[in-house]
Structure 1
Amino acid sequence: MDGKRGIMAKKATTTPMMAQYNEIKAQYPDAFLFYRLGDFYELFNEDAVKGSQILELTLTQRNKNSENPIPMAGVPHHAAQNYIDILVDQGYKVAVVEQMENPADAEGMVKREVVQLVTPGTRMKDSADAAKENNYLVGLTMADDHQCFGLAYADLSTGELKVTRVQTVNAVLNELSRLETKEIVTTGDLPDDLNATLTNLGILKSKQTEFLNNAEVSYLNQNLSDDLEIKTTNLLLSYLFTTQKRSLDHLQIAQPYEVAQFLKLDRNSRANLEITTNLRTQKRSGTLLWLLDNTKTAMGGRMLKQWLEQPLLDRSTLEQRYDKIAILIDEYFTRVALQEKLQQVYDLERLAGRIAYGTANGRDLLQLRNSLRAMPEIIDLLADLDQTIFGDFIKQLDPVSDLEALITEAIDDDAPISVTDGGLIKSGFNQQLDSYRKVTTNGKQWLADLEATEREATGINSLKIGYNKVFGYYIEVTKANIDKLDPERYTRKQTLVNAERFITPELKEHEQEILEAQTESSDLEYRLFVEVRDTIKTNIARIQQLANAISTLDVLLSLATVAEDYHFVRPELTDEETIDIKDGRHPVVEKVLGHQSYVANDVTMSPDDLILLITGPNMSGKSTYMRQLALTVVMAQIGSFVPASSAKLPIFDQIFTRIGAADDLISGNSTFMVEMAEANTALQNATSHSLILFDELGRGTATYDGMALAQAIIEYVHAHTHAKTLFSTHYHELTELAESLPHLRNIHVGATEENGELVFSHKILDGPADQSYGINVAKLAGLPDSLISRATEILHGLEAQGASVNETENEPEHLAEPSAVYQAQSVAAVAEPVDTTDDQLDLFQIETSQQSQLVAEEVQNLNLAALTPLEAMMKINQWQNQLRE
């Protein structure tokens, strides 16, 4: 609906109900308003039009006969959560408006209020597919001098609350990517370029200008001393308290952290390495997380993901994790027994969240009880392990046995989902409740006895006593038997088609007694349940501490199991800049192929080795080799064993990758621009303690440009960055750099040609590859034989002509000499431009003509990496036709 129509509809609306609706809607203009009317939530005006399209609802009209009828759509209240989830999943907000008083008791309009604002960042997901995922809401502010940002995040379902300061827009985007942020809260003063990027990324921006300064906010900020961090946490908490409108006692005291405490993986590197998300499917399957996740609890699964997203730099903590995993591998039976017990433990973090939130029901408390019941056995099993390693860990496991006893005593084992319909509290827990239940039970027996007595007195065997919510208890008699009733005793209550319903003085008296007992019983049960829940709420911190310890145990058990199953080894961390991995493997590829099929490779770099230049054909395994090193580093720095027969590694501070070809369509950048931008990120930020993986840099442009840039980048890393670098390339000319760059070493992936067929060994060997095998790979891809033959013919011609030119010049081909002086601002300035005007090659060794000259120039400037096989074939056919003219 356009704005004009919406305004007209509001002007024409004069009913008190629509006035109330419009008043509330004005407070939440950016949210769908779910307005409670009886058993439905209704949407009006623009919300109804848009909501009916998204939710596939029938669009109706209110005041149909008026000049401007109001669009209207509704959903049943019992199914509302499904519709809310759909809207929130698509990035919308939903304001839930409830009736705040009984319509029967209301004077005039029923009072209504927004009881909760559900947003992408505050949604508490309970679905099975979200069990091992956090849902973070991020608060973002700028420092007064605009030189840095404050960033705080919270998961409303678990109570996690953390805050930091970051220096650049890219650092902000990296953190938002790591947290998989769907919503951020700001004061509305972010830079325009950041705002535009957030919009392009589909992140919802919410504005909060009012800062709360109450006791709850102060309590949660008590560990913070940085003014910017305090401001940012206040912003986030103010938004949470304002939108949720209820107790948030499960929120944990804010923990400050520094990005520099962890191994830095920017968003591109995290995506390229497929640590938690498959680059192709955007799912978990096929990732490092997928491989390592053998956790038995949802909270353990979330913690493993957090470890992978923030690998450590602290050697002491890593060694402690290695020690525990080593013991758990050796103690097989204890490990299996612990994992079996963990399968009995529910999601303590989210149970604590629902209890604090006031949404936990009886079954939630039973899940908490069952989880706590497993703790003594878990503690006993851990006591059998080496206490020099696990002693401190056991001290963190408070079994919270007092809460387990309370729930066991109070909550019925068959408690229903509803908390208001009775059946929650065990008999014997409360004397008054037991007396109400006795009246109800005796009343039911009295009714059964009365039915038998009335049948005998009237001679009507079909007479029955029943109950409904509208008319209460009644005696029902078919119309054929009404003459048998004493009209002095039986008072008509309801007429049906074939029967009449009556009340007698005795039944009326007992009805009141029974109904009062049932009502009082249900009300008392609910009050008792809330008291139990509130008692548990005062112990939320204990439950969360236990949840953290159990999550950690779950992750360590998972890593131990995976290490044993896939033959991982404990890495040796060294202060030297040495990499010495024997029989290293790519763990995910190995799982897919099988241990017997995967070809293991060593990765060795002495302190003097800065760059490994990798050559070899496509499909031979260069990218896999590079990725396996990066994944091995990530695994080592979360405390995991690694896929190798032995591994000696330094602790890296950052990993940068430039792997694969992809456009950044959102930002309007080409493949080559993305390639250069990612290379620049590495060159600008890497240190001598970093790891860089560059795969085929320069292929996105003309051959000479690409080769010049690739050489310049290699020289820059060698002279300035000093990071451990793996650089794969198809530019075989670059292998000559080993003669002039002392810290560069050539290696290649073995491949042989047998009977015209290319055979990969997938084995890394010293030295450069002898040829590129590009045409062989094209043949493997299934290109037509005629095309392959023609390409071979052209290749031989080019090679022969290249040799002729070299002989004429009487000097070998060579690369530009490494520049002695570098300009940090311009990497490209390192490579000297090459004038090739006088060395123009004649493509097919025919007499030079204008037509052949044009073809030769086109071949020279063609970007082969940007062509599909079909396009390449068409180009060759075009050239043939041109040269025949």
Structure 2
Amino acid sequence: MAAYTPMIQQYLRVKADYEDAFLFFRLGDFYEMFFDDAIKASQELEITLTSREGGSEDRIPMCGVPYHSAPQYIEQLVDRGYKVAICEQTEDPKQAKGVVKREVVQLITPGTMMEGKGLHEKENNFIATISYFADNTFGFAYNDLSTGETKVTMLSSGFDEVLNELSISGAKELIIARDFNGDWQRKMKERSILTISFEEDCTGKDSYQPLLEEISQDKLHQTTARLFNYLYRTQKRSLDHLQKVSTYQTNQYMKIDYFSKRNLELTETIRSKGKKGSLLWLLDETKTAMGGRLLKQWVDRPLVNEQEIIRRQTLVETLIAAFFEREELREKLKEVYDLERLAGRVAFGNVNARDLVQLRRSLLQIPNLKEVLRKLSNHEAEMLAERLDACEEVVDLLERAIVENPPLSIKDGNMIKDGYHEQLDQYRDATRNGKTWIAQLEKQEREKTGIKSLKVGYNRVFGYYIEVTRANLHLLKEGQYERKQTLTNAERFITPDLKEKEALILQAEEKSVELEYQLFTSVREHVKEFIPRLQALAKSISELDVLQCFATVSEERHYVKPSFTKERKIVIKDGRHAVVEKVMNAQEYVPNDCYMDADREMLLITGPNMSGKSTYMRQIALTAILGQIGCFVPASEAILPIFDQVFTRIGAADDLISGQSTFMVEMLEARNAIVNATQDSLILFDEIGRGTSTYDGMALAQAIIEYIHNRLGAKTLFSTHYHELTVLEEELPMVKNVHVSAIEQNGKVVFLHKIKEGAADRSYGIHVAQLAELPEELITRANEILAKLEQTDEQIKQPSTVKNQNKIAEKNEAQLSFFDEPTEKKTAVLSTKEKRIIEKVKDIDILDMTPMEALNTLYELHKKLKG
């Protein structure tokens, strides 16, 4: 340390406390970075890397950004998962004795962003924490600093449940203790992109104790305290907008695990990882940012409380019936800005005058919204109208204090209205009168000197001056003006009167700007007192926005209100996949029915590839989810049970990060459903067992069907290409076969996309390959092989006779040629090993096997022979 200059020593001392962050070190008009920070920042931000003397023998790496453009660079770093510590000068350099004092005033992290492009308006920016307790339970809390909301729960079903809650929250940053289990940390990083930070202190502080007063359980208290301690320690300011902590239990909502949420594409699609094409994309007709955030929360957590679902449905139904009122609501909601985040910025101290104008304009819409809701003549709508607090005191204050179009900066004046403050009016009057005097002086001097181009100007360096071009200098009398500055083509002068007026004007302007800033901060502090009321208003506005969104989508897409039953029955008539229908166009989509009851718990779905089996299964799940968030559903009639959980195993995907194959992912997802499902759950299984050999796959599929049927009793849709499984309908009373129909015309398959009773007779796999335009030679050969397989399969199914027994060897030998190239019969001499394999083939009693068992056995031996 001693080898460096005092300033670099100061930098290193500060940096020691922020080793995991970029340190933006204020030097004059720049934020500078040194050493490794400089090298890495120059790469990440694509800025020039330089160096400077630091007192040691080697030059120190250095790079920097101008302070006025720093926010855009900070956003880039934070968006990539980094942290940025802002170190400011905390004393006037003119008064400093030695090195100017500096300290970190804020740590900006992915989970603590308060403004900027990285803060998406219709997405929460959550920061979460996990606490582990000795009894194998976990405390889980998450907070959106930009809105002030905090939620906490206890989890007791293992770490997988923790991972699931973490994925639902979508947290950008996670706070844990340093001794948190390393394997668990690895799993969290595999599951999502997280910035992990550490906070050891989990004792509650006086600064936020009132927010925890409704939490009685000590574990929840400790968990939330860890999160709040981190927020207060890193933000280093008052966080008056933090709301009272809300506790919840996961069983209050339909549980949708990480895999199922991904497979059903609820909030983002599997391929693009974007919103377009998801259920959220379909539904989002919200008009406010806070409504958009609440919609996502509702989609992530469908309800299981029937009474609350029906309350939402009632309002949606009322809004559908009142078209003109609903359109009026939508127009008014467009004028409402993000009240939640505006309140947060007021508390945080980074709100500007334009933000307060947006707040005033938003509040002016509240009486209009209340009036429209009262026109609906609905009890729930009336209750919602009563909760809309117009905050008239805030509106009055802002109308009196803030001009209509203020500047972006709060330190340059021109924000406060005339008449709001007497002293400010006096300063402004002096300034305006002085400028009028200046204009008159210019006119007088032009007349006095006869110089029409004479002007009175001003700049920050030299103040006010009289400017005369060189060509007109001869018109001035000797000593008429006092020379102040010489230019190439002109001379600048002053007079005693101009100098005196300049002092009055500049003094008034300076004092005016200072006073305006003080008045603005006073207004801001007064608005801060209304933050709880503004946040309560924001919640009501958000709910209204989501409900009108449901009504709009339901009417436009001809959805119906579902009813709920405790009879464990599903009745869906003309059901559709909400998203696929929108993408395809409603006139092209083929609707399907679904009927399940206590005697029909599991549908075994067969049919061709591409015929719509997966789509059919997904649409049942999405219909249930739409119903339980309070929206209407895509059908002509819908009677549904209330599901406690939805599990899916649809599609094929590797988990390359954790080194898991497609089949392992399939088995893990299947296990998750089988272990956690109840008779009130919905399970969707698509092609279970296809990732391994035919024997293994079919055995697993049948065992899973039997287990669900005999042990769980959950409503299950199970699609398969193992046609042998369709016989289970005769053995398991609650299993029923259905199939997606298709017909063959002129050698080509036509998918009808219609669900019918019974099992499919074939899969049309080669036809699908033909649609995919595989080479014609390959398709022809595949048909030849299929014909041989089907012919032999039929022969094997015939009753055993003496004649058949005599031909067994001939049939088995024929099997060996099924996968040979279509060439002339081979005449190569067989080896001793090959002869032994052939003898084994002849000894196999294939009549005791199922057709598929026989074919697989022969094929395995055939591979050995060819190998």
How far apart, in 1, do the equivalents of 2:498 and 2:419 lie? 30
Q: Distance in 2 between matches of 1:579 and 1:19?
A: 72
Q: Which residue of 2 aligns with 1:543?
A: 534
Match of 1:619 among 588, 610, 614: 610
Equivalent positions of 1:583-622 (< 5 A) are: 583-622=574-613
Secondary structure of the residue aligned to 1:88 is helix
Aligned pair partner of 2:408 in 405, 408, 417: 417
Deviation at 1:490, TM superposition (A): 4.3
Aligned with residue 275 of structure 2, among 284, 288, 293: 284
Q: Distance in 1 between matches of 2:840 and 2:313?
A: 59
In 2 relative to 1, CA 853–128 (structure 1 residues): closer, same or farther, beyond 3 Å?
Answer: farther
2:105 aligned residue: 115
Partner of 1:721: 712
Deviation at 1:128, TM superposition (A): 9.3
Structure 2 partner of 1:58: 48
Distance 1:690 1:277 in 2: 23
Shift in Å at residue 164 of structure 1?
A: 0.7
| 2:81 is the counterpart of 1:91 | yes
- One-letter identity of the residue aligned with 1:120: P
Task: Decide whether the 8 Å contact of 1:794 with 1:844 is kept in 2.
Answer: no
Q: Does residue 139 of structure 1 match 2:136? A: no
1-structure distance, mates of 2:462, 2:772: 79
Q: 2:153 aligns to what? A: 164
Q: Is residue 419 of structure 2 the alignment partner of residue 428 of structure 1?
A: yes
Q: Distance in 2 between matches of 1:707 and 1:224?
A: 51
For residue 459 of structure 1, report the CA deviation from its aligned partner: 4.8
- Counterpart of 2:139, as a letter, is G
Letter in 1 for 2:207: E
Counterpart of 2:817, as a letter, is F
1:562 matched to 2:535: no
Task: Tell me the residue number matched to 1:399.
Answer: 390
Partners in 1 of 2:171 and 2:477 — Cα distance? 74
Counterpart pick for 2:328 among 337, 343, 355: 337
Choose 192-201 or 705-714, whichever is displaced more: 192-201
**CA drift at 1:810:** 7.8
1:260-287 alpha-carbon deviations (Å, 9 max, x no partner): 1100000110000000001111111001
Q: Does residue 475 of the first structure (1) align with residue 466 of the second (2)?
A: yes
Cα contact 2:268–2:278 (8 A) shared by 1: yes
Cα displacement (A) at 1:108 = 2.8
Aligned AA (2:361):
N
Q: Which moved more, 1:198-207 or 1:698-707?
A: 198-207
SS state at 1:215 partner: coil
Equivalent in the alignment of 1:245: 236
Aligned to 1:148: 137
Question: For structure 1, which runs of at least 5 residues remain unmatched after alignment?
Answer: 1-9, 812-837, 859-875
Greater CA drift, 768-777 or 96-105: 96-105
Which ranges of structure 2 fall in alignment gaps of 5 or more residues? 803-810, 819-824, 842-858
Q: Which residue of 2 aligns with 1:834?
A: none
Contact 1:843 1:856 in 2 (8 A): no
User: Are 1:325 and 1:560, in contact at CA under 8 Å, matched by a contact in 2?
Assistant: yes
1:191 and 2:181 are equivalent in the alignment:
yes
Deviations 1:559-616 (A, max 9, x none): 0010001110000101111001011000100001111110000010011222110000
The corresponding residue for 1:515 is 506
Query: Residue 747 in 1 paired to residue 738 in 2?
Result: yes
Q: What's 1:373 paired with?
A: 364
Contact map agreement 1:151 1:164 (CA 8 A) in 2: yes
User: What is the distance in 2 between the residues matched to 1:247 and 1:856?
Assistant: 86
Letter in 2 for 1:54: E
Query: 2:844 maps to what in 1?
Result: none
Please give the secondary structure, in 2, of the residue aligned with 1:71. Answer: strand
- CA offset at residue 803 of structure 1? 3.0
1-structure distance, mates of 2:292, 2:863: 60
Whether contact under 8 Å (1:150, 1:228) holds in the other structure is yes
Alignment-derived partner of residue 805 in structure 2: none
Contact 1:798 1:844 in 2 (8 A): no
Is 1:270 the counterpart of 2:243? The answer is no
Q: Distance in 1 between matches of 2:390 and 2:591?
A: 45
Counterpart in the other structure of 2:520 = 529
Indicate the residue corresponding to 2:308 in structure 1. Answer: 317
Supply the AA of the counterpart residue of 2:146. Answer: S
- Aligned residue identity for 2:155: V
- Separation (CA, whole Å) in 1 of partners of 2:631 and 2:12: 57
1:697 and 2:688 aligned: yes
RMSD: 2.6
Instruction: Give the secondary structure class of the aligned counterpart of 2:209.
Output: helix
Instruction: Judge which range, 103-112 or 657-666, deviates more.
Output: 103-112
Give me the whole-angstrom Cα distance separating, in 1, the residues matched to 2:147 and 2:694: 53
1:294 and 2:279 matched: no
Q: Within the alignment, does 1:48 sit opposite 2:41 as a pair?
A: no
Residue 790 of structure 1, CA deviation: 1.1
Measure, in 1, the Cα distance between the counterparts of 2:454 and 2:100.
42
Q: 1:491 to 1:105 in 2, by over 3 A?
A: farther
Q: 1:708 aligns with which of 679, 694, 699?
A: 699
Change (3 A) 1:155 1:129: closer
1:427 partner SS: coil
The amino acid of 1:346's aligned partner reads Y
SS of residue in 2 equivalent to 1:769: coil
| Structure 2 counterpart of 1:578 | 569
Partner residue, 1:805: 796
Tell me if structure 2 keeps the 8 A contact 1:142–1:189: no
Q: 1:553 aligns with which of 544, 558, 565?
A: 544
Q: How many angstroms does 1:215 deviate by?
A: 2.6
Segment drifting more, 494-503 vs 709-718 = 494-503
Preserved contact between residue 573 and residue 648 of structure 1 (Cα < 8 Å): yes
- 2:104 aligned partner, one-letter code: V
Q: Is residue 2:22 matched to residue 1:22?
A: no
Matched, 1:389 2:362: no
Specify the code of the residue in structure 2 equivalent to 1:441.
Answer: R
- Does the CA contact (< 8 Å) of 1:613 and 1:746 recur in 2? yes
Take 2:630 and 2:266, find their aligned partners in 1: how far apart are those partners? 15
> Does residue 738 of structure 1 match 2:763?
no
Task: State how many pairs are aligned.
Answer: 828
Contact 1:44 1:70 in 2 (8 A): yes
Equivalent residues in 2 for 1:158-237, closer than 5 Å? 158-167=147-156, 168-200=158-190, 201-211=192-202, 213-237=204-228
Q: How does 1:841-856 map to 2 (within 5 A)?
A: 842-844=815-817
The 8 Å contact of residues 842 and 852 in structure 1, kept in 2 or not, is answered as no
Number of the residue aligned with 2:808: none
What letter corresponds to residue 137 of structure 2 in structure 1?
Answer: C
Is 1:347 the counterpart of 2:338? The answer is yes
Identity level (%): 53
Contact 2:742 2:752 in 1 (8 A): yes
Tell me the distance in 2 between the aligned counterparts of 1:217 and 1:187.
Answer: 20
The answer for the alignment partner of 1:832 in structure 2 is none
CA drift at 1:774: 1.3
| 1:36 aligned onto 2:26 | yes
Distance (Å, rounded) in 1 between the aligned partners of 2:54 and 2:329: 65
Q: CA deviation at 1:172?
A: 1.1
Compared CA separation, residues 62 and 856, structure 1 to 2 (3 A): farther
Q: CA deviation at 1:856?
A: 14
